[in-house]
Amino acid sequence: MIIRPTTNWLRMLFVWDGSVLKTIVPQLLLILAISVLAVVTHGHVFGARIPLDTVPFPLIGVSLAIFLAFRNNAAYARYVEARQIWGRILIAARALTSQVINYLPEDGDGFERKLFVQRLIAFVYALTHQLRGTDPSEDLARYLSKEEVEELRDMQYIPVALLDRIRLMLARAGRKRGTGEPLLWILDAQVSELAASVGGCERISNTPIPFAYGVLVHRTVYLYCFMLPFGLVGDLGMATPLVCVFVAYTLFALEAIAQEISEPFGTDPNCLALNAMTRNIERSLLEQCGEQMPEQLAPCKRYNIS
């Protein structure tokens, strides 16, 4: 994800990083070539004029706008929900750490507060890697023993396994200290919130926008842009390529943006900055425990740190 300071209107015209322009340049060049062909041939193909004028394009444009608006709204809703879920993970992790520090201080009864927080941080890293389909071993090894990393390596749902171990630690500590069910309920509520967040992330990750919508929008956008030069060339003449490329840029860019943000856990420039958010949770929990914090990551500058 790219986050940049507010820039003036002139610089915004030439922003490259974070823009989807670089991904749609080939399509725009194709539309430019078709537009130039339409101008050179005066709308004729193989000697026959394509019988198009400007009348049908507004009608098609209205339908296309509706489809694009639906897909972009659906994609943005997924993006916002994913960010809200990670906000709840941060809140629940902080609350659980604070409760453990204050309600279950280390007093020689076998409860390892440091290990508890390490497993909680490992859980956050494991979730990030699960959502992106990457290997979590390196990040887990910073907080877990080699034996525990090996035990977790072959599991399909490592975040869930770590939450089970966290819950077991709390249950054992509660039984040994005789703290009673109310305290365990308070602590377990935060663990359940983290588990619900895992499920929410999995739902977004495993349930994409129905493929048929993407196909419909994709085909309609391309057919519209391919036909547009032959409908405008009679009225615009030499200006046809400029207008057609501008219209194509708008439509192709909207489709590309929707594609990026509909998968909020990806690594495209406009996806969520999971690495930065994970590091933020890690730093926050370590600070609560009075431990040394790693350097902060910031999603900014050239490309995505996410």
If residue 9 lies in a helix (H) or strand (E), which one and from where to where? helix 9-12
Most distant pair of Cα atoms in the chain: their distance? 91
DSSP annotation of 109: S
> Model confidence over 183-207: pLDDT tens digits?
888 889 999 999 999 999 999 999 9
Mean pLDDT of the chain: 87
Per-residue pLDDT, 42: 82
Which residue bears the tokens 């935060």? 190
Q: Is 230 exposed, middle or buried (0-12, 13-18, 19+ CB in 10 A)?
A: buried
> Model confidence over 37-87: pLDDT tens digits?
999 988 777 666 666 767 778 888 888 888 888 889 999 999 999 999 999
What proportion of the chain, given as a percentage, has pLDDT over 90? 54
What is d(CA 67, CA 223) in angstroms, rounded to the nearest whole number?
Answer: 14
User: In 236-286, which ranges are E strands?
Assistant: none
Range with the poorest average pLDDT among 40-44, 92-96, 210-214: 40-44
Closest CA relative to residue 258, chosen from 246, 270, 247: 270
Are residues 173 and 50 in contact, defined by beta-carbon separation less than 8 angstroms? no
What is d(CA 70, CA 66) in angstroms, rounded to the nearest whole number?
Answer: 6
DSSP annotation of 239: G
If residue 48 lies in a helix (H) or strand (E), which one and from where to where? strand 48-49
Beta-bridge partners for 48: 45
> Model confidence over 102-120: pLDDT tens digits?
888 766 555 788 899 999 9
Question: What are the b/e assignments for 244-254, b being 16+ CB within 10 Å?
Answer: bbebbbebbbb
Per-residue pLDDT, 303: 40
> Model confidence over 221-259: pLDDT tens digits?
999 999 899 888 888 889 999 999 999 999 999 999 999
